[in-house]
Amino acid sequence: MEQNLEQKLEQAVWAARSLFERGKTAGSSANMSFRHGEKIYITASGSCFGTLVPGDFTAISMAGEPLGERKPSKEWPLHLALFEKSPEIGAVIHTHSTYSVLWSFVPNLPERDCIPDHTPYLKMKLGTVGTVPYEKPGSQALFDAFRQRAGDSDGFLLKNHGPVVPGKDVMDAFYCLEELEESARIAWELFRAGI
């Protein structure tokens, strides 16, 4: 059953606060979006997952035009690229979570499947995670690099920056992001142990 806008906002606020309270993001560095009808609702520029309220979301069109009073996150083009990829994608979450960022520094990661499947859950929940070369956050160069890779994987790890994870809805994206971060933690600890 399709959720109404209020239900989607309620879930998004819960997911954001959960990520913040458990140290999966800090400050105003993360952003989240979801599709509702012909609009995308995305966290406003400067919003913090720890204090997020429904009014911290602002709308943009599927063409990327601002429709709300508040300025959208500067990284809205990352979200738009995934919504354009598939009508099945209903939400996107981007954080700077610690283990995903640490793992992104490992040299010579594969472009299309960068996190080893030490456990089966990442592949089961999300699929493959591709890398996106480092470009300055919020830059057109980053958005161009992301668009070039958007069709190659199911989730993404921006080098030296953090994960970008889509889902069918906010909770699906949340669960996929959680699995990616946990898989990156396991991979990082095993890498440090030389395994």
Give me the active site residues, please: 75, 121
Give φ, ψ of 172 to 5 degrees. -65, -45
* Element containing residue 146 per DSSP (H, E): helix 140-149
Long-range contacts: 47-51, Cβ < 8 Å, 24+? 47/73, 48/20, 49/16, 49/17, 49/19, 49/20, 49/25, 50/16, 50/17, 50/20, 50/21
In the three-class reduction of DSSP (H, G, I as helix; E, B as strand; rest coil), residue 194 is classed as coil
